[in-house]
A and B are shown apart, each in its own frame.
Chain A
Amino acid sequence: MRVGDVGRAEIAPTHIGFGPGAGVSQWGVRLSGYIQSQYQWSQLSEDQIQQGGATLNQNRFMVRRGRLRISGDWKWAAFDFELDGSTTRGPFVGVRQANASFVWRNPDAARPPYLMVTAGLTEAPFGHELRLGQREMMFMERSLGSLAFFPGPVDVGVRVRGGIAAFRYDLAIMNGTPLDDRAGARNTTDPTRAPDYIGRFGFAARPGKHALSGGVSLLYGTGFHRGSEATKNKLEWIDLNENGAIDTGELVAVPGQAATPSVNFRRWAVGADFQVGLRSKAGWTQILAEGTIASNLDRDLIVADPVVVGADLRELHGYVAVIQELFGRAVVGARYDYYDPNTDLLDRRRGEFVPKAAAIHTISPIAGALLPPGWIPGVRGRLVFQYDAVLDSLGRDSRGVPANLKNDQFIIRLQGEF
């Protein structure tokens, strides 16, 4: 195990048919990389543009991730620097890892170090998926709730992690503005002076030929309600009599508005994750489960802002997944993913407030073929198909009442690594 892999999920079956990349190593410095090319199809696709100019078509080939990583690994120190090139939102190249570490190693090289202090752009230590690394993940993307809480897995800060026997710890102080994993996304800098505090306490054990791991994660941070900038005067036409022409009294002066202040708010999350790896003649069976309850943490999907709504938004997220390796040649699996961006949302019906469902359910079966190790020396690969059946209330029926939106999708991804 490389030191740089410490703190990521250590459960062995995350490397089904894939294993550590071959890479190129010299003098403690290692060059490695991987490319994820894919074709995706979505029920949302139309040969039209959306209001605002974005194209509605999502049926296309793309390079989702093209990573090149250089890492150093010595007795007391380590570093990682990773670049990403992709066409997710048009051609893009950007940094995805840039950190340096001090390491106090365990004499047993197979075990994680007692202490590793990392500074720079590195993974936020929350839950299992987020720390897994995009290369090792068998599903195409993280679950919806994880993507909403953390638009990207990495953030800038200081991280302290390690392990003693079966105990694992991973703590960090970070900006609280994760770098969006989707290349070409809007760049944001941390708007608040207060950092976010993130941590996970867990365990990893190997009873017999099987594997067990899990942990509890915590996050406490500061969110930001953006104030508005001052605006200029403008003229507005309101066609009161609907005749399509400007008549007396239909031109309204809209005076410029003074700037309004930005306001901070608290956000927090508590999560638990559990992974089981069972070894059989067919290969590894992985059972993964993770749940998170959070407050005001959605930073991407339905961005939490309690200032306007006047109340904290509580989010609930969880998933269970099963992945089965088949004799080192294939893999099948499925994931059920639940995300509710506002568990307290109420609707008013017949004069009474009733709970309103905003939850999004995603069922994602996968099937894939693995390139047997050694067929192409130094190269590993897999071809995986994933279908996402999405049940939500983002659509509207003819009365305007929320309804399930047709937004299922599938992705076929070819991943090659050296």
Chain B
Amino acid sequence: MRAVLLAFALIAACTGEVEQQIGLFEPIRVPDGELLDDEPPLAEAGPKVTSLDTSSGILTVGQKGRLLSGRTTEDAHAIAVRFDGLGSGWWVRPVQDKNPMFPGERDFQLRHDIGGGAPPGVHTLLLAAIDEAGRRGPAFELEVCVRDDGLPDNLNACDAAIPPPALVITLEWDQDVDLDLVVETPGGKKIAHATPTSGEKVETEVPSGVVKDPSTGRLVRDSNAGCAIDGRNSESVVFQEPPARGTYLIYADLFDACGAPGTLFSAAVYRRVERDDGTFALVEDARTGGALVDLQATGGGQTPLYVMASKQP
């Protein structure tokens, strides 16, 4: 019996199998690449990244299919990428042919996604060329900013000198349901998917001046509208400048459970804070949670569920 177990262990150890990882926890993911478990040894004289093209240095959490392209020295066999100090390792994929316009160099392309493991803020993206022996050359550093569009902040996470909105009310939930954030202003106007600003209608429409007024609240997104799942499961109402004083009532409206038994949700209020050094931050002021079950789906035709109130001084 012992011999049989030993034989099984030896067979398992000798087949050269590699573990398949989909890397969904990683802050950056290369869907057609491989995630290395071990840090490749550094060879200072190894291949180098000679050029890099990217459309923008601002990355959004959940962003899909971003492209990093560029060139390496001719001795490179693969290109590797990771966030400095974040994630569990390097993503690698082969480099391409020699570039006829740049003798002695090869092209590479890295299609990548930004995962939820990337905290908002400024980070350094490292790129390195890998040689035939699996050693990496010196890293090419690219400073990028990661932002989370679930919490609109006017890029305050990238530059603290940029003022974030004065007031942000968010609703996020855990199931793929069509849940709507509804905010009732002190004047009685309900900001919701069908009436997405705090501006009042004059005859047939809300005047454009009111829509553009920074103190007018605006619904940023109608997530999972009509059960067309968009992967966000969050909505926000944003006031760029302080809105009218009074009490704002926050509701959650389960428009359609989309086949799910219900959902847990969490609503939060964020306010702009100015620091002594002239920088700004968006700080959570209140949060409360709740649950809705499928039989409470309203189709927009009933009173939504009251969640909490927020007083605007």
Contact = CB atoms under 8 A, between A and B. Distances in A.
Contacts of A240: 196-197, 206, 211, 218
B306 A230 contact: no
B197 A50 contact: no
A231 B115 contact: no
A238 B297 contact: no
What's the interface size class on A, roughly?
Answer: 35 or more
B174 A307 contact: yes
B251 A400 contact: yes
Interface in A224-278: 225, 227-231, 234, 236, 238-243, 252, 254-262
21 contacts: A51-B297, A51-B298, A52-B258, A228-B176, A228-B231, A231-B231, A238-B219, A239-B196, A240-B211, A255-B60, A256-B65, A258-B29, A260-B24, A302-B291, A303-B261, A308-B173, A348-B309, A396-B302, A399-B306, A400-B305, A402-B306
A21 B74 CA distance: 82
Contacts of A29: none
A304 B194 CA distance: 31
B303 A399 contact: yes
B20 interface: no
A256 B65 CA distance: 9
Contacts of B294: 50, 52, 54
A227 B193 CA distance: 26
Given A231-B230, A242-B205, A342 B286 contact: no
Given A238-B222, A261-B25, 9 more contacts: A228-B176, A242-B205, A243-B206, A256-B64, A257-B62, A258-B29, A345-B289, A345-B291, A348-B286
Interface in A187-245: 225, 227-231, 234, 236, 238-243
User: Of B258, B261, B309, B311, which is in contact with the most chain A CB atoms at under 10 Å from its CB?
Assistant: B261
B233 A228 contact: yes
A389 to B, nearest CB: 17
A52 B255 CA distance: 9
Given A238-B196, A302-B293, A261 B303 contact: no
B266 A308 contact: yes
A287 to B, nearest CB: 32
Contact of A229 (B193, B231, B305): B231
B153 to A, nearest CB: 18
A177 to B, nearest CB: 15
Contacts of B193: 238
Contacts of B255: 51
B295 A50 contact: yes
A351 B308 CA distance: 10
The 7 closest A-B pairs by CB, nearest first: A257-B231, A261-B24, A51-B299, A308-B174, A243-B205, A400-B306, A258-B113
B271 to A, nearest CB: 14
A342 B292 CA distance: 12
Contacts of B175: 303, 305
A164 interface: no
Contacts of B208: 241
B228 interface: yes
A52 B256 contact: yes
Contacts of B197: 240-242
Contacts of A24: none
A52 B297 contact: yes
A82 interface: no
B134 interface: no
Contacts of A302: 262, 264, 291, 293
B157 to A, nearest CB: 18
Contacts of B308: 347-348
B291 A341 contact: yes
B288 interface: yes
Nearest to B204: A243
A165 interface: no
Interface of B: 24-25, 29, 60, 62-65, 113-116, 172-176, 193-197, 199, 201, 204-208, 211, 218-219, 221-222, 225, 227-233, 249, 251, 255-259, 261-262, 264-266, 286, 288-291, 293-299, 302-306, 308-309, 311
Contacts of B173: 308
A402 B229 contact: no
B281 to A, nearest CB: 20
Q: Which of A52, A227, A236 has the most CB of B within 10 A?
A: A52
A310 interface: yes
B174 A225 contact: yes
Nearest to B182: A400
B309 to A, nearest CB: 7
A260 B259 CA distance: 20
A78 to B, nearest CB: 29
Given A257-B231, A358-B291, A398 B63 contact: no
B2 to A, nearest CB: 25
Contacts of B65: 256
A187 B216 CA distance: 47
A308 B264 contact: yes
A401 B201 CA distance: 27
B200 to A, nearest CB: 10
Nearest to B252: A400
Interface string A39-57: 0000010000011101000
A234 B24 contact: no
Contacts of B264: 302-305, 308-309, 313
Contacts of A254: 221, 230
A86 to B, nearest CB: 20
B178 to A, nearest CB: 8
Contacts of B265: 308
Interface string A309-350: 110010000000000000000000000000001100111110
Contacts of A358: 291
Contacts of A44: 295
A300 interface: yes
A52 to B, nearest CB: 5
Nearest to A254: B230
A394 interface: yes
Contacts of B174: 225, 305, 307-309
A394 B259 contact: no
B290 A242 contact: no
Nearest to B24: A261
B306 to A, nearest CB: 4
A301 interface: yes
Contacts of A50: 294-295, 297, 299
B41 to A, nearest CB: 29
A227 B29 CA distance: 15
